Amino acid sequence: MPGDCVYILRCRDGTLYTGWTNDLDRRLAAHNAGTGAKYTRSRAPVTLVYAEHMPDRSAALSRERQIKGLTRNEKLALIEAIPH
């Protein structure tokens, strides 16, 4: 899915990883192939649990920093707040 977005992944060990991309499908595939972020390489497979589309890269990076500053419980609340 092209377009700038911020995402949260749930790793195999239950930890959460936050990142940004301009192609979510490609990035998710890279994480699961072991070619994504160093953090997720040993924690694959990963599952996408949250994605927020942003108007541009600057907004995505800003939102990524904001989400990374949240506690685990705050991130879980953010994930739970999206409609399923």
CATH value at residue 34: 3.40.1440.10
Q: Quick one: three-class SS letters along the chain? A: CEEEEEEEEECCCCCEEEEEEEEHHHHHHHHHHCCCCHHHHCCCCCEEEEEEECCCHHHHHHHHHHHHCCCHHHHHHHHHHCCC
Question: What are the tens digits of pLDDT across the range 68-81?
Answer: 999 999 999 999 99
* Banded model confidence at residue 2, pLDDT cuts 50, 70, 90: low
Number of independent structural domains in the chain: 1
Residue written as token pair 């904001």: 66
The pTM of the full predicted model, rounded to 2 decimals, is 0.92
Residue 65 belongs to what domain range?
2-81
